Structures are given as C-alpha cells and as structure tokens.
Amino acid sequence: MISLLLKCAGVVFWIAVLGGIGFLLVNKNIYRKTVAEAGKITWILCAVSILLLGALSLKVMSISPLYNGEIPQHRSQYEDLTESFFNGHLYLDYEVDEKLLAMENPYDPQARIDNEVPFRWDSAFYQGKYYMYFGVVPVLLLFLPYRLITGTALAGYAATWVFLMIAIAGIYQLFYRFTLRFHKNLPLLLYLLGSFTFSLMSIWYCIDCPQLYCTAISSAIAMEVWSLCFFFESVYMATKENKQILLAFFGALFGALAFGCRPTIALGNLLVIPMMITYFKEKKITGKLVGKLALAASPYLAVAVGLMIYNFLRFDSPLEFGQAHQLTVADQHAYSNMFVTLANLGLGNLLSGLQFCFFNPLHTYVFFPFIDAGGLFFNHPILLANVLMVLPRPLKEMRKDHTAGLLWMIPVTVLLIAVLDILWTPFLLVRYHMDLNYLLAIGAYASLMYLHKAYMKEEGMGSRVLAVLLVLAALQNAWLIILPQDSNFTAYYPEMLSLLSRVFLFWQS
C-alpha cells in the first residue's frame, strides 16, 4: 500500500513539473498582466507565495533533532546567552573543566585532543569563562523579548525561521520596488517567480541546518536586505527630502544591526556607496543637508559604539568579537590579524580558495540523490546571470536608470566577502555561501530584468523561456535541501532519503 502511494505521489509530482513547464511555454495569457497593472493582486500573490515557502521551510527545519532542540549539543548558545542576560552577566553559564583551565594554550585543538580535555565546541573561551562569539543582535531583537513575554526560551530553529521570513519578505519588497521603478511592464509572473526562486536561493542552507550558525546568518541577511530596501526607496523612489532622510535612517539602522549578526554579510552595506553617489548627483550640498545626512547615518555610530562596549566588557578589546578565542578546529589566534593572515596565505592558496568557493564541481554519484553540493556557481548556475550586466543594451539601460554603479558594486562586494571568508576560516563550508548568495541573487534578478527589457517582449518566447529557467532554478535549490549534509534531516534519517528516492524515481520502486 505504501509503495503504491509513493508511486502515485511520484507520478503526480512529475506530471506537475512537466505539465507546469509546458504550460509556461505555450500559454501567452499568463504573461499579459504586468507589475504596473496588477495592483492589489500582487500583494495577495506575494503573501500566498511567501507563506507557502515559509510553511514548507518550517516543516523541513523542524525534523532533525540536532537542529530542532531535541539534541542541542553546542547549538543552544543563543538560548543560553539569553538566560545569562537574565542572570546579570555576559558569559555563558557553562561549567569549565579543570583540564581546560590548566592548559597553556587552550585554543590548540591538537593539544586538547592529546590531553583529552572536555570543552564547549565553538564557544569563545577567555579568562576562565565561556562566551558566545556569534553576534548578540538576534538575542536583543528576538530571544530576549520572547523570554520576557512568555517566560520560556525561544528555540533556535524557530528564531532562524522568523528571520528567514523577514528576509524573504524583504527580498520580495526590494524586487517589487526595483521592478515598479525600472521595469513596470515586466510580466507579474516573472516578478513572482524571480522573487520566489532568488529568495529560496538566498536562504536554502538555513532551511537545511537552522540552529546557531544559520540563526546568525539568517538574521544578518534579514537586516541587510531590509537595509537595502530602505536605501533604495530613499534614493530611487522618494521625492521629498525629509522622507528620503527618514528612509535612509532606517536603512542605516538595519545595516548597522547586520554587523551585530554576522559582519561579513553586513559588508553588503558597501552597496550604499553607489546609491549615495547617485543621490548626491541630484542634490545641492548645503550645511542643512549635511546635518540631515549625519542624522541619517547616526545608527551606524550608535550600534558600533554599543558593539564595541559589549566586546570590551567580554574580551577587553572593542574590536574583538570572540573569534580569536574560539574553541574549534583550529587555533583562531592565527586569524586575528587580517594582514598577517593574508601574507601567510599566499596568492596561490587564495586563488585556490576562490576556485573552491565559486567553481568547485559537483560530485556526482550513480545513486540517489546523485550529487553533492559544490561551488556556488555549480549549485546555482542562474547566478551567472550577473555577467549579463556587461552586455551593451542592458548596460545602456542601467546607465540611464543610474543603477550601473549599484549593480557593479555587487560582484566587487561578493569578491571582498569571499576573500575575507577564506582568510578568516580554516575550512570553507557550504554555509559560507550564504554570505554571498543574497547579493548575487539581487544582481542576477536585476540583470535578468534588464535583459528582458532590452531584448524580450512581455508575451514572447523569451519571457516564457525565462520563466522556465526560474522554475528549474527553484527546483535545483529544493534538490540541494534534500542532499544529506551537516546532520540535516536526510542525513539524520536516511530512511527519509529512501522515501524521497521512491517518489522521484517511482518507476524503479
């Protein structure tokens, strides 16, 4: 009976996929409604799309006991820091083993192994106490208020889901405002498919492994995406100066908070530079305007001061977030000075790291699910659409819209973040792609929209092929989620992978 149900599910799945692709290719009517014409229906469809993605994500996130809180191990640090705040201190209430206290260099992983020293994995250790080196902002924004209101601890994966929903809503909003401003004749369907696909692409690993690491990642993406939303609205949409300043203030606030979540993702703030250049081109600089701009930028200073005080109270250094004191796979003291690390790394190793990050081929197998995750552009080939911004006609349109500098800053920022990831970690992991995906997703969407504007008609074959490519890209991202990796649900429960195999390959079961 179960076998029959799985076969039926497989048949339905493939009929839906192939039938949907065929429908997208042959039906012109679904491309006639443009973003400018859609009105309220856009928000209804966006809400349905976001809620669907959110519901599916939450279900997947809650399966593995290593991520849903049943077997927390070292992944409960946000919850534990929240309790530490309630107890009036900044360190984590973990018992410290005497062997660790007695070590000359407790950060040496081989020495810990040789001496069989018990320790708390991926915690910062300084002057006999454990600390959390992950950013404190998620605790202040979500964990602490939840604890105050309910009296109970918020599960880490649930917090990650909340931040993912905020990030997804931000991507939909950013794409919508960008499309309404520069591509209002774009078919509504392409906007919806693009928003769904690139949202999933930006956060897929956080769905797979939601606790701790991805709490930091998802919160930073949420803050940074909404920062870009406010700055874009300020520069390209708002017309009244006071409204522009207010929007920029919120852009700066969210952008600053991203540094307190995950600093590498917060480097997306560099995209503000070309937007500010565009803003100044149309403004006469006066003392009054400079004062308003200083007010708009004040959240950066306020948050920076707050984070430095927090760091100093823990590690006696305003610029030490805790990585140098992290107990992990390598002695992180070696990564505390970026310039020394860059000199020691060498150009060859840096280039090798970049190749591994972006162009490491997928490992293929003869058995289901056939691949392992590889380099970023192999995992998400559609992100190579960023190169379309060099084509003459799209580039001409970008220059006319004053977005060329903004979009060209994306690959520059991505390269800088990738270099920092290579410098500051002993091993490049798939989750570090999340530092880059959301930026490349923004660039890819914008590039595809300019390609559409320059070469395609709303109901033409180009629009239909683009719709299919977006659907295939979404399916590929869904496939990445089911790959067994990092103790996710299919790695922890191999039988679930077997069930999925019997659905997708129903003719073999």
Q: How far is CA 111 from CA 94, 98, 199, 274, 363, in A?
A: 21, 15, 43, 48, 34
Angle between helices 461-482 and 2-26 (to 10 degrees): 150
φ, ψ for residue 122, nearest 5 deg: 55, 30
Q: Encoding tokens for residue 311?
A: 């760091």
* Higher per-residue pLDDT: 495 or 2: 495
Give the pLDDT confidence score for residue 344 in this predicted structure.
57
Indicate whether 340 pLDDT > 90. no
CA 250 → CA 109, 256, 272, 436, distances in Å? Answer: 43, 10, 13, 23
Q: How sure is the predictor about 334, in pLDDT bands with cuts at 50, 70 and 90?
A: low
What are the distances in angstroms from CA 175 to CA 46, 178, 423, 444, 484?
11, 5, 32, 11, 32
Instruction: Inform me whether the pLDDT recorded for 1 exceeds 90.
Output: no
Taking the CA atoms of 115, 116, 120 and 122 in sequence, report the sign of the dihedral they define: positive
CA atoms of 142 and 360, how far apart (whole Å): 36
Pairing state of beta strands 371-372 and 363-364? antiparallel
List Cβ neighbours of 421 (8 Å cut-off, separation of 6 or more). 264, 357, 428, 432, 435
pLDDT tens, residue by residue, 101-142: 999 999 999 999 999 999 999 999 999 999 999 999 999 999
Tokens describing residue 202:
């930006």
CA 220 to CA 438: how far, in whole Å? Answer: 11
Please give the model's pTM, rounded to 2 decimal places: 0.96
What is the percent of the chain with per-residue pLDDT over 70, rounded to a whole number? 97
pLDDT for 486-504, tens place per residue? 999 999 999 999 999 999 9
Read off the DSSP letter of residue 286. Answer: -
Owning domain of residue 219? 2-508
Six token digits for residue 122: 């991926």
pLDDT for res 2 = 78
pLDDT of res. 508: 83
Angle, helices 392-401 vs 404-423, to 10°: value is 100
First to last CA, the chain: 12
Number of structural domains (the chain) is 1
Tell me what pLDDT residue 337 has.
Answer: 58
For residue 100, name the pLDDT band (cuts at 50, 70, 90).
very high
pLDDT of residue 266: 97
Degrees to nearest 5, angle at CA 222 with 270 and 77:
110
- Structure-model confidence comparison of residues 330 and 82, the more confident one: 82
Nearest partner of 254 among 363, 361, 370, 166, judged by Cα: 166
Looking at the predicted structure, is the pLDDT value of residue 339 above 80?
Answer: no
How far apart, in whole angstroms, are the C-alpha atoms of residue 244 and residue 450?
A: 26
What per-residue confidence (pLDDT) applies to 395? 94
Q: Judge contact between 124 and 130, C-beta under 8 A.
A: yes
Say which residue the tokens 């534990």 belong to: 80
Give the H/E segment covering residue 176: helix 156-182
443-478 pLDDT, tens digit each = 999 999 999 999 988 788 999 999 999 999 999 999
Q: What is the mean pLDDT of the segment spanning 262-289? A: 92
Contact 192, 414 (CB under 8 A): no
369 touches 482 (CB < 8 A): yes
Mean pLDDT of 162-177: 98
Question: Please, which pLDDT band fits residue 282 given cuts at 50, 70 and 90?
Answer: confident
Backbone phi, psi, residue 125, to 5°: -125, 120
Cα 84 from Cα 89, distance rounded (Å)? 6
Averaged confidence pLDDT in the chain:
93
Q: What is the mean pLDDT of residues 161-186?
A: 97
Cα gap 204→165, rounded to integer Å:
12
Residue 343 pLDDT exceeds 60: no
Whether omega before 369 lies within 30 degrees of 0, making that bond cis, reads: yes
A 10 A CB-CB count for 182 gives 19
Q: What is the pLDDT of residues 28-86, one digit of tens each?
A: 999 999 999 988 899 999 999 999 999 999 999 999 999 998 998 899 999 999 999 99
Q: Give the residue among 83, 138, 111, 128 at the shortest CA–CA distance from 325.
A: 128
Sign of CA dihedral 430, 431, 436, 440: positive
